Each structure stands twice: as structure tokens, then as C-alpha cells.
């Protein structure tokens, strides 16, 4: 992956699933709303047509007498009375000769219901006609046009109720789907958290929880098995690294920390202003080790070096750290000292540890002394001067011993 590429934020699975649910519910409910509206309008058309026809049949009986007795005033009054009740928008009565006998028209300025007018025009493109009968013979005809005010009001109420029901059903549907998807989202979140933790923090001890969905459950089991293997590999790698670190930082013959460990620890000591105030460095060098090697062989020399290390460890314990720098050269970092006299006492006690002969493990014993030189950490500003002073003092002690023996 190109790290230079700008990061593009991506939606989470939860948000994506929620968006899909919302879109699905909106599309589905919109289609349902349109279908119900269409079915409602078609049903309304059939109902309104029948109702207008029943109104016309009823009015034909009412207007029968006015036509028979040729009373247009009574017919107009009847039409006006029924028209004001909202039964129709326009009524025309014709006699048997197709001449207008009476009429009433609703004033459209009394209403601004445009939707009702449009729906009325679609439902009733032409007025209905109903014959007026007397003794089984037609005496006239009435023509009616539907009143759009009542129709529009009914449609508005129907659409409002239908829309409210659809919205309520949508909320219920979204709530139910969100509840049903919660478990799936939770399982995916659990898996992604474990995967992210393993990749980011190298935490292979965490496991995916048991899932309720079969596919997620199988995936979790397989991934947990993979984590088991990775954790085992990690432990083996850590063990190998620890072993390599020990090998790199310890002398293979004596088991003491080696020169590499000494360099790291003495540098850390000089950088620690607190520990530096009560620490000192001791350099130890064998005085007659070459003679032992030449006389008794390298195996005997190795036995002596192992015994020197053992005595240094016994003397230093956990307070003072011992090192083998190479050959018969050793070092010890002592702590808890506050004066040169304290260090001199430690050096004298340490020399006593080497006063006893060394067992060569070949039936012979041999003496070997060590020259010790020291330097006080708090008297040296740098690591180099500390090492130089300790080394200088050690060689001074070795030369002094040589002069004394000579």
C-alpha cells in the first residue's frame, strides 16, 4: 500500500448496513404508498360514481312533480337547497323537449381547492345524466357534476392518514431491522477488534468470542486456531531471542556478563546522575594466569577462570555486578560506596577471596592472585576517563606487585 496516498475515510459496516436499511425501507414504503394511493383513488372513483348516480336518481323523484306541473321555480329552489348542502357542483334539468327547465351552479370562487378540482375532473370528466320518469314515461332529464370540495377533502384526509401510517410503519421497520442487525454488527466488530489488535499491537493472546451466526462462528474458530499458532511462534521466537541475547551478553565459559554487557551497563551508569554518586569501577587482571596455562594446559586454565568467576559472584551477590572482559581480565561495578576508603575495603576483601589455591581438577592446586585497580564514578565526568583511570590504577597495582616480588 502506498503510504503517500491520502487517506480516504471509509464508512463503517454498521453505517453502511444502516444506510442500506434506510434506502430499502424508503423505496419499499414509497412504492407501497404509491400503490395504495392508486388503489384508493380507483376505489374512490367507483364509489363517487355510484354515489353521484344515487344522488341523481333521488333528485329525479324529487323533481318529478315540478316538471309535471311545470313549476321551474320549485325546481330551482330544490336544486339550490341540495347544491348548498354539497351534493353536487352543477345541476341542469331539461324537459322532454331538451329545453333547460332549471339549473344551479356552484360558485368556484368559494373554494381554492385546486387538487380537488383536478381530481374531480379526472374522476368525472363528463356529468352524469339521469332521466326523470312519471308513470313510466320520461318527462325530463337531470344532469349532475360532482362537487370537488368534498372529494378533495376526502382525498387529503386519505393521503394524510396513509402517509402517517407509512411513516409509522417505516419507523417500526427501521427499529426492528436495527435490532435484528445488532447481533451481526457486534460479531463483526468483535472480529475486527481482535484482528486489529493482533496486527497493531502484536497481541496474539486475544481470541474471537463464540458467534451465534454459523459463518461468523466458523470464521472465528479458524482465526482463533491461526492465533494459537501465531502465539506459539511468538513464544518460540521470544525464547530464541532471549537465548541469543543471553549468548550475546554473557561469557560462554564462566557465565559472567561479557564485554558487550559491560559496555552497555557502564555507559548507563555514567548517564544516571543518582547511581553515579555511589558507584565505583574495579578492573581485575590475573597475575600468573599465563604460567598456569603453560604449565598445566588450557583445560586447567579454564578451571581457574571458572573458579574466579564463581568467587566473584559469591562475593558480589546481587549488589555488585561482575564481568569477564576477556582472557584473565575481569571487571566489577560496585555500588553503595561513598568514599575512596569504602572502595579500598572492598578491594582488600575481594583479594582475600583469591588467597586460597585454585583446584585444577587434575589432582593439583595452584595459587593465583589478581591485581585490582579502581576508579570512582563520581570523580569522572566521562566514561572514557573512568575506564582509563581504572585501567591505569590496575596496571599500577600489577607493577607494584611485580616490584615487590622482585
Catalytic residues: 328
Residue entry with cell 565526568:
381
* Helix (H) / strand (E) containing 385: helix 383-405
* Helix (H) / strand (E) containing 132: strand 128-134
> In the chain, count of helices (H) and strands (E)?
11, 10
Rg of the chain in Å (alpha carbons): 55
What gap in Å lies between CA 67 and CA 139, rounded to an integer? Answer: 7
Mapped onto helix, strand or coil, the DSSP state of residue 330 is strand
What gap in Å lies between CA 374 and CA 390, rounded to an integer? Answer: 5
DSSP state, residue 272: -
- 183: cell is 447481533
What sign has the CA pseudo-torsion 233, 238, 239, 240? positive
What gap in Å lies between CA 126 and CA 39, rounded to an integer? Answer: 22
Amino acid at each position: 500500500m502506498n503510504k503517500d496516498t491520502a487517506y480516504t475515510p471509509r464508512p463503517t459496516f454498521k453505517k453502511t448496513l444502516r444506510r442500506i436499511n434506510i434506502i430499502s425501507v424508503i423505496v419499499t414504503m414509497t412504492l407501497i404508498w404509491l400503490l395504495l394511493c392508486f388503489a384508493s383513488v380507483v376505489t374512490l372513483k367507483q364509489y363517487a360514481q355510484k354515489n353521484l348516480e344515487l344522488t341523481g336518481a333521488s333528485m329525479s323523484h324529487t323533481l318529478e312533480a315540478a316538471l309535471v306541473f311545470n313549476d321551474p321555480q320549485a325546481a330551482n329552489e330544490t336544486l339550490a337547497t341540495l347544491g348548498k348542502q354539497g351534493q353536487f357542483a352543477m345541476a341542469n334539468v331539461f324537459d322532454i323537449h331538451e329545453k333547460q327547465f332549471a339549473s344551479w351552479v356552484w360558485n368556484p370562487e368559494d373554494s381554492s381547492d385546486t387538487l380537488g378540482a383536478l381530481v374531480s375532473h379526472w374522476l368525472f370528466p363528463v356529468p352524469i345524466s339521469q332521466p326523470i320518469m312519471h308513470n313510466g314515461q320520461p318527462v325530463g332529464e337531470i344532469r349532475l357534476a360532482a362537487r370537488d370540495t368534498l372529494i378533495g377533502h376526502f382525498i387529503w384526509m386519505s393521503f394524510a392518514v396513509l402517509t402517517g401510517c407509512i411513516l409509522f410503519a417505516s419507523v417500526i421497520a427501521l427499529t426492528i431491522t436495527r435490532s435484528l442487525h445488532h447481533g451481526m454488527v457486534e460479531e463483526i466488530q468483535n472480529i475486527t477488534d481482535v484482528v486489529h489488535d493482533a496486527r497493531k499491537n502484536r497481541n496474539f493472546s486475544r481470541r474471537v468470542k463464540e458467534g451465534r451466526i454459523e459463518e461468523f462462528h466458523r470464521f472465528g474458530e479458524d482465526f482463533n486456531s491461526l492465533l494459537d499458532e501465531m502465539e506459539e511462534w511468538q513464544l518460540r521466537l521470544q525464547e530464541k531471542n532471549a537465548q541469543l541475547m543471553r549468548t550475546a551478553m554473557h561469557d560462554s565459559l564462566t557465565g559472567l556478563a561479557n564485554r558487550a554487557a559491560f559496555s552497555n551497563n557502564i555507559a548507563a551508569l555514567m548517564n544516571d546522575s543518582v547511581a553515579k554518586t555511589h558507584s565505583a569501577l574495579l578492573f581485575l587482571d590475573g597475575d600468573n594466569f599465563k604460567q598456569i596455562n603453560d604449565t598445566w594446559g588450557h583445560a586447567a586454565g579454564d578451571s581457574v577462570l571458572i573458579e574466579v568467576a564463581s568467587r566473584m559472584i559469591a562475593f558480589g551477590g546481587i549488589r555488585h555486578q561482575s564481568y569477564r572482559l576477556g582472557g584473565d581480565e575481569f571487571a566489577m561495578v560496585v555500588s553503595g560506596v561513598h568514599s575512596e576508603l569504602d572502595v579500598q575495603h572492598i578491594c582488600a576483601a575481594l583479594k582475600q577471596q583469591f588467597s586460597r589455591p585454585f583446584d585444577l581438577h587434575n589432582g593439583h592446586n595452584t595459587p593465583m592472585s589478581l591485581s585490582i585497580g579502581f576508579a570512582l564514578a563520581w570523580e569522572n565526568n566521562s566514561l572514557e576517563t573512568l575506564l582509563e583511570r581504572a585501567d591505569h590504577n590496575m596496571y599500577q597495582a600489577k607493577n607494584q606487585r611485580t616490584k615487590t616480588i622482585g
